[in-house]
Amino acid sequence: MNATLLASQPVAAENPTARVRWLTAASSASWLEQANARPDLVLIDHAHCERKAAGVALQLMFRYPSDEGLGATLSPLAREELEHFERVLELLQRREIALRPLPAPAYGASLTAAVRRGEPERMLDSFLVAGLIEARSHERMALLAAHSPDQELRQLYDALLASEARHFGLYWLLCEERFGRAVTVARLQELAAVEQAALSGVLASPELVRMHSVGVCAPSIASTHSSNG
């Protein structure tokens, strides 16, 4: 899997899976503390995220119907996202936690707003934004897998890590195959900065903690090299 932009200063240096190579800033200790304090909210939001990720994959397939390679890649990804949704939903039901709507953080809207409107730039940006969201999800699930006080949740997040990593790797390959490495890396650097800015700040209320709520460390060194991950 190819990736770039090594995340700096992860919350837990002993947890190598928390270092994700699309991200310019690692999640903060405050986000992890907030997430562990309200695992019910994070779990509900996680279910919504899995369903949305499946929807994004399907939307891209319908937007570019003549791209056979795209359909062949994203169809199984969408199915896997729905399987994850079902797994999280089952856990919610066993814990008698209702799957209810939650106010969404500005994260997704901020990234979507950065997508250019004209083609083929729109395709590139859409793939990269989807990949960035997958990369952040992987990074935060890795932190929860290592540090959640709830053993069942640790097992859940740990079980999902490999597929989450594969997902952002697939979006990278879609970009590189269609636009080349140089163009992909340059645009990823720009969108990764948008992603970091969208997660910067202080959470206004503990009730607003989400899988993608604010909470990142300022990177000490901005790494822009590319490597295999």
Where do the domains of the chain lie? 37-210
Instruction: Dig out the tokens for 203 from the structure.
Output: 């959470």
CA distance 25 to 74: 27
Q: What angle do CA 81, 111, 215 make, to 5 degrees?
A: 85
Average pLDDT for runs of 10 along the chain of length 229? 34 43 92 97 98 98 95 96 97 97 96 98 98 96 97 96 91 96 96 97 94 86 36
CA distance 48 to 196: 22
CA distance 163 to 169: 10
* In the block, residue with structure tokens 């503990």: 206
What CATH number has the domain spanning 37-210? 1.20.1260.10
CA distance 170 to 176: 10
What pLDDT, on the 0 to 100 scale, is given for residue 180? 97
Single-letter residue type at 105: P
What pLDDT, on the 0 to 100 scale, is given for residue 20? 57
What pLDDT, on the 0 to 100 scale, is given for residue 86? 97
What pLDDT, on the 0 to 100 scale, is given for residue 164? 87
DSSP of the chain, one letter per residue? -EEE----S-S-TT-GGG--TT-SSPBPHHHHHHHHH-HHHHHHHHHHHHHHHHHHHHHHHHHSTT-HHHHHHHHHHHHHHHHHHHHHHHHHHHTT------PPPSHHHHHHHTS-SSTTHHHHHHHHHHHHHHHHHHHHHHHHHHH-S-HHHHHHHHHHHHHHHHHHHHHHHHHHHHH-HHHHHHHHHHHHHHHHHHT-S--S-GGG--TT-S-BPPPSS----EEE-
CB 51 within 8 A of CB 81: yes
Which residue in 217, 211, 105, 216 sits closest to 153, CA to CA? 211
CA distance 123 to 60: 8
CA distance 210 to 20: 19
